[in-house]
Copies of this chain bind each other. A is one copy, B any other.
Amino acid sequence: MKKYAVIVAGGSGKRMGNEIPKQFILLQGKPVLWHTLHAFLSTFGDIEIILVLPQANIKDGESIIQALDTKARITIIEGGATRFHSVRNGLAFVTEESVVFVHDGVRCLVTKELIQRCYEQALEKGSAIPAVTATDSIRIVNGDTTTVADRTNVRIIQTPQTFLSEWLLPAFTTSYDEGFTDEATVFETSGKGVCLIEGDYENIKITRPTDLLVAEKVLAERSALK
């Protein structure tokens, strides 16, 4: 089936204490976003990518696409006020019945195996939300106190959140709600539940300086294994 990936890279890098937005920081000599796009392009030769960027970084995005030297169709569009609006802008370019991946531009360690796994489950069940079980104890804050959660029931949610287009597009016609933290929460407003799938502990979101250390090291190890 036709595949689209909406890659959302709208961050401004405030948590990194860095002038450069984190999606453009270099890892192994290439921008974070290059690695992310490369993962999808090398999994599916026929994938179409919609790259959502802040207005100020559209030229940077064009340079990355040139460096990828791919024949795949990659459309750059401007992000919206929130994640929901950015993704909705991107979904306007999904014009064929398809499997749609929505992915954080800064999750540059995503593997072919995980992308493939999400594709297959979305085809079969309509959705695939990669998740891993918490390693540490988890507490939930309730006002001034906290209660412990059963760790075996806590799932840390990742991307690519993957859906059949015929299910995802109608869900995104809903109006914006502050509770929309990801695509799964939007999808659920359609009345359908989402199906989780085993994620990957290495599929981290580059958020803090330590994450860059991890990513650099993981990419170096993978490159050595090739």
Query: Which residues on A are within 8 Å of B, measured CB to CB?
Result: 131, 134-142, 145-146, 148-149, 151, 153-158, 179, 181-182, 184-185, 188, 193-194, 196, 201-202, 205, 207-208, 210, 213-214, 216-218, 221
Tell me which of B140, B141, B151, B157 contacts A139 (CB under 8 A): B157
Question: Knowing A201-B208, A210-B214, A214-B217 touch, does A146 contact B155 (C-beta < 8 A)?
Answer: yes
Is the pair B136, A140 in contact by a Cβ cutoff of 8 Å?
no
**Chain B residue contacts of A155, Cβ below 8 A:** 138-141, 146
**Chain B residue contacts of A137, Cβ below 8 A:** 156-157, 181-182, 184-185
Known: A139-B196, A146-B194, A213-B218. 12 other contacts (CB 8 A): A135-B205, A136-B205, A137-B156, A138-B138, A138-B154, A141-B155, A146-B193, A146-B196, A148-B181, A148-B188, A201-B210, A217-B217
Is the pair B207, A218 in contact by a Cβ cutoff of 8 Å?
no
**Chain B residue contacts of A216, Cβ below 8 A:** 217
Max chain B Cβ within 10 angstroms of own Cβ: one of A138, A145, A184: A138
Complex CA–CA separation, A197 to B156 (angstroms)? 22
Complex CA–CA separation, A137 to B134 (angstroms)? 12
Is the pair A207, B154 in contact by a Cβ cutoff of 8 Å?
no
Closest chain-B Cβ to A171's Cβ sits at a distance in Å of 14
Complex CA–CA separation, A210 to B196 (angstroms)? 23
**Chain B residue contacts of A181, Cβ below 8 A:** 137, 148, 151
